[in-house]
Structure 1
Amino acid sequence: MPPKPNSSDQFAPRRAVEVLSPELATTPLIFASPHSGRDYPGELLRNTRLDRHALRQSEDSYVDLLFDEAPRFGAPLLRALFPRAFVDVNRARDELDPRMFSDDVPKHADTRSSRVIAGLGVIPRIVADGQDIYSRKLYYFDARRRLAACYDPYHAALRRLIDDARSQFGVAVLIDCHSMPSAGGAPFRAGEPRIDFVLGDRFGSSCDPSIVAETEDILRGYGYQVARNAPYAGGYVASSYGRPREGVHVLQIEINRALYLDERRIARTGDFETLRLNMTRLIERLVTSRGIEQRPPQAAE
């Protein structure tokens, strides 16, 4: 049997989230990095069967640093400080894997979602390369405590940023920033170039198509190969927050890690600063786009 949960405050990072805010908000754009957290809680490190390097395979490593100039252009950057292997905020709160727990999960839990079945629920069972994270089963109390400490503050901050943008500008445009393994950017067919960026808008349901098209044009102008919705169409944040008819647009960006990361060592390469410069240029171009601010809520049919 697993040891009973204790009251130690080592179960969560020192801070769960951070919002890098501009001195003055001048745009409805919001940037978010939900999977680049690097503060590994003691609870996770004590109970995992993996070393820290193996756990880090699930990170969108350093994506937050690629977009950290956003406040300079009047846009906030929200970033999770806890790791994705601990809590995944791009999942529904009730996507719980009953195989992970020694006791029962609530009846309302979504235990049959494709992500839970794959071991990638809100409390992940495996890391990105398929290895089991834990050497023992958890208690549901562990999950509930993590969600309160990490998941809830992240989504509270995200909702607040969206509400503030809508209140000030009439619209909110969330750029949800992620990275993908270089294998995910492999060409679909022999002879085609690798995919550098994947733009996910849930096949048109989470973001105005003109915002997606403008982002794609900017990236292509920098020489990148860009795909839409394949192999990544957008996760829980895009599907649950993206409501173009209500003035909330969510565009997920996946960046091929080969552009900036030594994936084996999880270390930034010499190309990191070039990519960061181009992401800063992307931010500036989007912030200064008149089309972004002229995306009012659409009237219902």
Structure 2
Amino acid sequence: MEIELSPPFDVVEPAAYTAPLLFNSPHSGRIYPRSFLAESRLDALALRRSEDAFVDLLLADVAASGTALMCARFPRAYLDVNREPYELDPRMFEGRLPNYANTRSLRVAGGLGTLARVVSESQEIYARRLSVDEALHRIEVLYKPYHRTLRRLFGRIHREFGVALLVDCHSMPSCGLARDERPRADIVLGDRYGTSCSPLIMDCADDTLRALGYTVARNKPYAGGFITEHYGNPGGGFHVVQVEINRAIYMNEQDFSLLPAFDRLKRDLASLRDALAALPFHYLDAFHLAAE
């Protein structure tokens, strides 16, 4: 059960941090292990429907001036680090899952657990059941090292500045499965309905993106996943905001080709980084100390 990824994720750190920022792209990995492709009943293009396609490339310039960046290289369809470590669907596996597995979450029910059962449009990924050992192996060699590294980076920034901001970046389909759903905003910001970061951060991101010409929504349809929920602790000086980017504004969703607007969006995300870096983090630090 060798994982054909080395390293499984990329970390870019500046020589010196100029702001307490960490950008993260947990779903943009596009290196598909050969063994996974052999196990799947879908072709490579269908599997890519669950990717946050090219978000890592959109963020490539973010780390250029004093900001850290972390990106998964393994695909979300293979393992999803924006879930609990053991959100597993027993229907997918031969044998019995450990009793600590969460087999009843809404995400498992929807086929999108730590090991996904489906990609978009509810297409089943696997031709046959997997072994339980295969699931546990992926969690040990990919999920746990990813989160150890993310926690280490986030904690290091917090120790240096007294406050830290994680910007968790994703992409979304331009429309949902419901036929009557309205067209989605260009960007959806999520803070778990005000619980994962200071309102000052949300307002800054919202105002900056609107000034750049984007339509922006908050928390609907995406309020933030496992990372936003479990890493955000504003009272302790740990802030997390999720950024969901509408794929239609930078790529062709059918053939995965990039649109000319890709370069502009890449520059605008660097501008967002600059705006967040200019926030009065000393105020946020004072705020959480006063709250303790």
State whether TM-score is above 0.5: yes
Instruction: Give the C-alpha shift of residue 298 in structure 1.
Output: 4.3
* Residues 186 and 194, structure 1, Cα contact 8 Å, conserved in 2: no
Deviation at 1:292, TM superposition (A): 3.6
Q: 1:35 aligns with which of 27, 36, 51?
A: 27
Match of 1:274 among 246, 264, 271: 264
| C-alpha distance in 1 between matches for 2:203 and 2:57 | 25
Change (3 A) 1:54 1:214: same
Instruction: Confirm or deny that 1:195 pairs with 2:204.
Output: no
TM-score between both structures, scaled by the size of structure 1: 0.92
DSSP 3-state at the match of 1:294? helix
Counterpart of 1:100, as a letter, is M
Residue matched to 1:149: 141
- Between stretches 291-300 and 69-78, larger displacement belongs to 291-300
Query: Amino acid of the residue matched to residue 26 of structure 2?
Result: P
Aligned to 1:92: 84
TM-score of the aligned structures, taking structure 2 as reference length = 0.95
Deviation at 1:269, TM superposition (A): 1.2
Tell me, yes or no, if the aligned pair for 1:185 and 1:256 is still in contact at 8 Å. Answer: no
Which of the residues 181, 190, 211 maps onto 2:201?
211
Root-mean-square deviation (CA), in Å? 1.9
| Alignment map for 1:123-272 (pairs within 5 Å) | 123-184=115-176, 194-272=184-262
Q: Equivalents in 2 of 1:254, 1:86: separation in Å? A: 21
CA distance in 2, matches of 1:113, 1:300: 33
* Partner residue of 1:294 out of 283, 287, 291: 283
Q: Deviations over 1:201-250 (max 9, x none)?
A: 00000011110001000000011110100000000001111000111000
| Equivalent AA in structure 2 for residue 119 of structure 1 | G
CA deviation profile, 1:103-142 (whole Å, cap 9, x unmatched): 1101111100000000000000001221010001001100
- Which structure 1 segments of 5+ residues have no match? 1-6
Report sequence identity in percent: 47
Q: Is 1:24 aligned with 2:13? A: no
Show the counterpart of 1:51: 43
Question: Does structure 2 conserve the Cα–Cα contact (< 8 Å) formed by 1:87 and 1:151?
Answer: yes
Q: State the partner residue of 1:112.
A: 104
Q: 1:138 to 1:262 in 2, by over 3 A?
A: same
Q: Distance in 2 between matches of 1:108 and 1:32?
A: 28
Number of residue pairs the alignment of both structures matches: 290
Aligned counterparts of 2:279 and 2:99: Cα–Cα separation in 1: 48
State whether residues 257 and 263 of structure 1, in contact with CA within 8 Å, keep that contact through their aligned partners in structure 2: yes
Q: Aligned with 2:175: secondary structure?
A: helix
> In structure 2, how many angstroms separate the alpha carbons of the residues matched to 1:134 and 1:187?
27
> CA 1:51 to 1:257, structure 2 compared with 1: closer, same or farther past 3 Å?
same
List per-residue Cα deviations over 1:30-55 (Å, max 9, x = no partner). 00000000111122111001111010
- Counterpart CA distance in 1 for 2:177 and 2:165 is 25
Structure 2: give runs of 5+ residues left out of the alignment.
Answer: none
